A = this chain, B = another copy of it.
């Protein structure tokens, strides 16, 4: 068992998030970090996040729902139907764990054991606030559209009152979060280096193809 940590490690450095007992990477802790700029960059690049929350009437059941995340300042936002289960569970004060992972490469080693993935990921714990104020809500939804295509929010028809009412936007503080990153070549055992098997990394990236105009 790791030694218990104080609830929040005091730090005056605002470029690094304070570590909490649940955001300290134990396994391969050398790959963990709490650098704010790193965490923001991973969140900004992610097209999808996985929102974990607890549901269940008789006994608690973990649920993980994929959704599109976007960042406004030091908050991570998600949206959905005001009537959806995910939104209702979170809105009622439920704690969430939101995880984002970007895959950069398969890491092919000379032994099975040393295979890996190059990745950048973020795990964030927190409770959301509901963005209620109409001006703030419109700006938040514009920022979502802007994440997909900068400049687009000004070009599309804005939400009408009914659409706005049907939509819930939740904002999570990016405060109790960690990043974890692996990069570089495989780490093989010295005695495996001469085995006659290809070893190295196969880069992976999410690539946009040719846009298909509606109606074509």
User: Which of A27, A66, A98, A108 gathers the greatest number of chain B CB atoms within 10 Å?
Assistant: A66
A209 interface residue per 8 A CB criterion? yes
Question: In the docked arrangement, what's the CA distance between A130 and B202, Å?
Answer: 30
- Whether the Cβ atoms of B62 and A156 lie closer than 8 Å is no
Q: State how many residues of chain A have any CB contact under 8 Å with chain B.
A: 85
Q: Are B157 and A195 closer than 8 Å at their CB atoms? A: yes
Residue from B85, B96, B204 in contact with A208 in the complex, judged by beta carbons closer than 8 Å: B204
User: Is the CB of A149 closer than 8 A to any CB of chain B?
Assistant: yes
Quick one: closest B residue to A158, CB to CB?
B112
| B residues near A65, Cβ cutoff 8 Å | 99, 123
Contact with B along A15-55 (1 / 0, CB 8 A): 00000001000110000000000000000000110111111
Please judge, given known A-B contacts A203-B212, A207-B204, A212-B200, whether A153 and B112 are in contact too, CB under 8 Å.
yes
Q: Decide: B148 and A66 in contact? CB cutoff 8 A.
A: no
Q: Which of B61, B113, B156 contacts A110 (CB 8 A)?
A: B156
Does A12 count as interface, using CB distance less than 8 angstroms?
A: no
So how many copies of this chain end up in the complex?
2
A131 within 8 A of B: no
Contact across chains for B203 and A204 when beta carbons are under 8 A apart: no
The answer to whether A99 and B64 touch across the interface, beta carbons within 8 angstroms, is yes
A118 CB to closest chain B CB (Å) equals 11
Question: Using an 8 Å CB-CB cutoff, how does the interface string of A58-69 with B read, 1 for contact, 0 for none?
Answer: 001111111010
Chain B residue numbers with a CB within 8 Å of A214 are: 185-186, 188, 199-201
Pairwise interchain contact A96-B26, C-beta atoms closer than 8 A: no
**A167: interface (CB < 8 Å):** yes
CB proximity to B under 8 Å, residues A93-118: 95-99, 101, 103, 106, 108-113, 115, 117
Please name 4 further chain A to chain B contacts, defined as beta carbons within 8 Å, in addition to the given A112-B159, A157-B195, sorted by A numbering. Answer: A52-B62, A61-B97, A110-B156, A203-B212
Chain A interface residues toward B at CB < 8 A: 22, 26-27, 47-48, 50-55, 60-66, 68, 80-81, 83-85, 95-99, 101, 103, 106, 108-113, 115, 117, 119, 121, 123, 125, 141-142, 144-145, 148-149, 152-153, 155-159, 163, 167, 185-186, 188, 192, 195-216
